[in-house]
Structure 1
Amino acid sequence: MSTIVPDAMKSGMPPILPIDFNASQPTTIRLYPLSNYTFGVKETQPEEDPSVLARLRRLEEHYTAHGMRRTCEGILVCHEHNHPHILMLQIANAFFKLPGDYLRPEDDEIEGFKERLDERLAPVGSLGEGEKAGDWHVGDCLAQWWRPNFETFMYPFIPPHVTRPKECKKLYFIELPKSKVLSVPKNMKLLAVPLFELYDNTARYGPQLSAIPHLLSRYNFEFVDEDGNVVAATPGAGDAASDYVPKTKVLAGGEDDVDMSAGNGTNDH
């Protein structure tokens, strides 16, 4: 089968076209630009525990009454200049976490997760007109992290000597629609963090969040502009002429941009 190459792309050394390399590839994910989304703030949601020790003590009480705690968090992805960005919460200018939380003992996993996403990110008042509760597209479960004991450490596996883990945290891919209104509690910041900022950055983000680029590497992405046109895709190239370098942005609850070179907060609490 011959391939037609436009004259402008022809050269004395035509490219070698490889055999198709997409066997068993997951469905390509379409990412919409950050500018498609509207961000606001809502009432403060104070942390349930004043300290890490108090949080672990409450986990122990939950385990005694209900068994292993189930937690779900969402990986929400959009793009800025054709580079994936993860929507993430920052608490007290220190700790980073994904939207979501532990499920109540009686909750169905997915429906309970959607309620927790609403609590964190659903708008209120006039911003929420036209949006309904639980309007989230929960996609693949990308990771499971296990807490073997009543301590801060979690692992992406169950250690051999552990038969009764105390908590399982699942990370789900949340496919964002073309546009959406999101509101963050006033005591938190909503950030858009570039994928390359997370990669191999356990010192700042901890092992769970810094692993997100690995989790997303299984997907190919289409990058769509504000008019709905696909302007780049992976594998492929975007605007090679642009010298723009993506950086973390505060979307709500703080200033326009944030210097991510300072501090040492993680989500390991």
Structure 2
Amino acid sequence: MSTITLTAMQSGNPPVIPQPFNANQPQKVTLYPLSNYTFGVKETQPEEDPSVIARLKRLEEHYSEHGMRRTCEGILVCHEHNHPHILMLQIANAFFKLPGDYLSPDDDEIEGFKARLDDRLAPVGRIGEGNQAGDWKVGECLAQWWRPNFETFMYPFIPAHVTRPKECKKAYFIHLPKTKVLSVPKNMKLLAVPLFELYDNSARYGPQLSAIPHLLSRYNFEFVDENGNVVAMTPGDGAPEGYVPKTKVLAGDDTDMKEGNGTIE
């Protein structure tokens, strides 16, 4: 009976040490608890357009005069029981959108964006009480959505046949400080929506908002309590027994929140 001898192959070169698991990973992001923030209301901000048709007509007029419209929106993240929540506006008890808006044609992108965030969320009358206009830490651009035509649908890419898109919407990560006062117009609601609720839920929130969990998956989070102590880190210690993340109404219209399926793009 023949015997087969196995000889280990060896190389004259030193072994290659693999990169650590978190190589090229973005720096961890610190999330503060929802209870650290103060929420209020301010004067109503009526929608500029009474209908979707009117909104698209205004976009067409803007494009004719100024070219492609630029829109910036903010992804503001805090946590509740060590689960990330996104601060989001709800309009007419059915439509959801991130804070932000379209920029004026001559606006610098970041400074104009900060002004739009102030319009939506800055408390009135508190700028002189230790707060400054445009006091937002605008982080990375996490996504770009493109509107190829004068229609409601947007794409996370420019279709091959489109050379002149009508609008570019950017979603920026807004790094919230330890504490902040936020006020929402009386005709809107400010919600804290858990990633659990957004994930794979385009039927309710639309493709842009339901994509946010994917956009944030690149980050490791550090969860801090009200006293500034780190209480969990990604992957986290888990929520209290029986806790299920759910949307919380923080401020705004005091009518009952309805389970509408509408989205606003």
TM-score normalized with structure 2 length: 0.90
Contact 2:72 2:172 in 1 (8 A): yes
Larger Rg: 2
Question: What corresponds to 1:227 in structure 2?
Answer: 227
Contact 1:249 1:258 in 2 (8 A): no
Question: What corresponds to 2:74 in structure 1?
Answer: 74
RMSD over aligned Cα atoms: 1.8
Percent identical: 83
Aligned letter for 1:263?
A: G
- Deviation for aligned residue 1:242: 2.7
Q: Which residue among 263, 266, 269 is the counterpart of 2:263?
A: 266
Q: Distance in 2 between the 1:128 and 1:77 partners?
A: 26
Q: Distance in 1 between the 2:250 and 2:108 partners?
A: 31
Question: What corresponds to 1:252 in structure 2?
Answer: 251
Question: What corresponds to 2:11 in structure 1?
Answer: none
Structure 2 gap segments, 5+ residues each? 1-17
Contact 1:88 1:193 in 2 (8 A): yes
Structure 2 counterparts to residues 83-162 of structure 1, below 5 A: 83-126=83-126, 129-162=129-162
Describe the superposition over 1:75-123 as per-residue Cα deviations: whole angstroms up to 9, x where unpaired.
Answer: 0000000000000000010110000000000000000000000000000
- Deviation for aligned residue 1:196: 0.7
The runs of at least 4 consecutive aligned structure 1 residues that moved more than 3 Å come to 254-259
Taking structure 1 as reference, are residues 127 and 164 closer, same or farther at Cα in structure 2, changes over 3 Å only?
A: closer
Structure 1 residue matching 2:86: 3-state secondary structure: strand
Structure 1 gap segments, 5+ residues each? 1-17
TM-score normalized with structure 1 length: 0.89
Contact 2:189 2:251 in 1 (8 A): yes
Aligned letter for 2:109?
A: E
Q: Distance in 1 between the 2:227 and 2:148 partners?
A: 48
Instruction: Provide the aligned length of Structure 1 versus Structure 2.
Output: 248
- Deviation for aligned residue 1:19: 8.3
